[in-house]
Amino acid sequence: MNIIGICGHAGSGKDTAADFLVAKGYQKISLADPLKRICADVFRFSREQLWGPSENRNRQDMRYPYRYDKALGLTPRYALQRLGTEWGRDCYDDIWIEYAIRMARAVLEGEAPGGGFWYYRPEMGLWGDGKAPKSDCPAGVVIPDVRFANEVAAIQQAGGRVIRLLRPRSDGAVRGGIPGHASEAEQDRLPAELFHATIHNTGTLEDLKRDVLEVVRLP
């Protein structure tokens, strides 16, 4: 399958890079989408808190004071990290990547009831349209939040490629999450040869766009 995964730390520009591919006809399917849908329902986090710019997930929500210091509020990033790793991955390591690949296979290859095709929306998940034309099928799928070695391996086993995105980290990029959390720390142990390519995001947005499209071989 034509799947492009993007691996990188919080604030490295993963979603921005993915959006360049979306503009070329790719469908974005994030590993965190089902987590965000749960948090939207349970915590009533807004779309902007969950699917907006990365820094929105670092902002404290004072509706949920921190248990050890009531002057601090829960951040969406903290909730997503706990739900994704300490719950989901502790139950089954491949839970989120298998879900994403299943969604990718549906939108790229699957046939919806009635002979149409499947659509995917981050806030909804998968839904079928029996009247959708084949021209509506995406050119590929981009998964913008790959973090663990097993996720890289699963994408490659499905016929996809994974790009590593590197950018100098600032304290603000990771603030709001759990210091040293596995979802960030494991990336430092992933060898360069694991990836199809590495992009150093140290220039302009146009530089990043050029590099991403060159690696994926899109005009």
Provide the CATH number for the domain formed by 3-216 in this structure: 3.40.50.300
Place of tokens 């965190």: 32
Q: What is the DSSP letter of 61?
A: E
CA dihedral angle for residue 201, residue 207, residue 209, residue 211, rounded to 10 degrees: -70
Strands 117-121 and 125-129: antiparallel
pLDDT digits (tens, 9 = 90+) for 115-142: 678 889 999 999 887 666 666 789 999 9
**What backbone phi and psi angles, to 5 degrees, belong to 63?**
-65, -20
How far is Cα 32 from Cα 89, in angstroms, rounded to an integer? 12
Q: Which residues contact 94 (CB under 8 A, 6 or more apart)?
A: 150, 154
Is-contact 146 186, C-beta < 8 A?
A: no
Query: Domain-by-domain residue ranges, the chain?
Result: 3-216
How far is Cα 149 from Cα 178, in angstroms, rounded to an integer? 20
- Residues of the chain with confidence (pLDDT) below 50: 171-173
Instruction: Note the pTM of the prediction, 2 decimals.
Output: 0.88
Q: What percent of the chain has pLDDT over 70?
A: 89
